[in-house]
Amino acid sequence: MTSNKNSATGLTTGFADLDRVTCGWQPGEEIVIAARPAVGKTAFALHLARTAASAGYHIAVYIFTYTIFFLMNN
């Protein structure tokens, strides 16, 4: 986490453009990802979750479209 005005003030997402717009994730935020079918929402959400977990944060991901077995195998 940094206080530089040109970078994220919260947890970075791994996407520089997104961090620039949102200043990263801030404590207490809930993130909802919504879009049309088959545009990569699940892959995007799992990337964000992995980035947060790699930074040492506890995360919870709720994906209602797929079973856990599908997610683990893909």
> Could you say which DSSP state residue 20 is in?
H
* pTM value > 0.75: no
3-state secondary structure of 40: coil
pLDDT value of position 65: 73
pLDDT value of position 21: 92
Domain ranges of the chain: 31-73
pLDDT value of position 37: 86
pLDDT value of position 42: 87
Q: What is the pLDDT along the chain (74 residues), one digit of tens a residue?
A: 444 455 678 899 999 999 999 999 898 888 888 999 889 998 999 999 999 999 999 988 887 777 777 767 76
